[in-house]
């Protein structure tokens, strides 16, 4: 939730839980801000960066907290921590397929009520 579309009053999720744990352990405070242009960060034709990557690159903020996609291009503009979240562990479980026609294989795990 933001007051002036730049300052965030409350944030939730794994990244912010980690940030809060670090704040508690090391005793620092934060002010959360949205990227000025709503972008994560892309290198522009003139060599500068937009979005959150640009804000970190220009030292307008001390760090960026989000699920960033780490790319070689972005590593030229900012430094990343070691990735702490590699892949989504969620899955849908269903019984193994029964021998037979594959015509309705996509809908077979679901009941007719769905």
- CATH number of the domain enclosing 89: 3.40.190.10
Percent over 90 (pLDDT), the chain: 28
| pLDDT (tens digit per residue) in 18-68 | 889 999 999 999 999 889 899 999 999 999 999 999 999 999 998 898 888
Beta strands in the chain (DSSP E): 7-8, 32-33
CA–CA distance, 16 with 47 (Å, rounded to integer): 30
Residues linked to residue 32 through DSSP beta bridges, in sequence order:
8
What are the residues facing 2 on neighbouring strands? 8
Rounded CA separation 77/59 (Å): 11
pLDDT confidence of residue 86 = 65
Per-residue model confidence (pLDDT) at position 88? 55
- pLDDT band at 2, cuts 50/70/90? very low
Counting the structural domains of the chain, the total is: 1
As a whole-number percent, the residues of the chain with pLDDT over 70 amount to 68
Q: Quick check: 4 pLDDT over 60?
A: no
- pLDDT interval class at 110 (50, 70, 90): low
């Amino acid at each position: 939730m933001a007051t002036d579309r730049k300052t965030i009053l409350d944030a939730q999720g794994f990244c912010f839980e980690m940030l809060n744990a670090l704040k508690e352990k090391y005793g620092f405070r934060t002010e959360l801000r949205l990227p000025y242009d709503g972008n994560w960060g892309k290198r522009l034709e003139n060599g500068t960066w937009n979005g959150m990557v640009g804000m970190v690159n220009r030292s307008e903020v001390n760090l960026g907290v989000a699920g960033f996609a780490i790319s070689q291009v972005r590593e030229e503009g900012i430094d990343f921590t070691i990735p702490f979240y590699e892949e989504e562990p969620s899955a849908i479980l269903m019984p193994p397929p029964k021998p037979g026609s594959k015509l309705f294989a996509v809908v077979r795990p679901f009941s007719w009520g769905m």
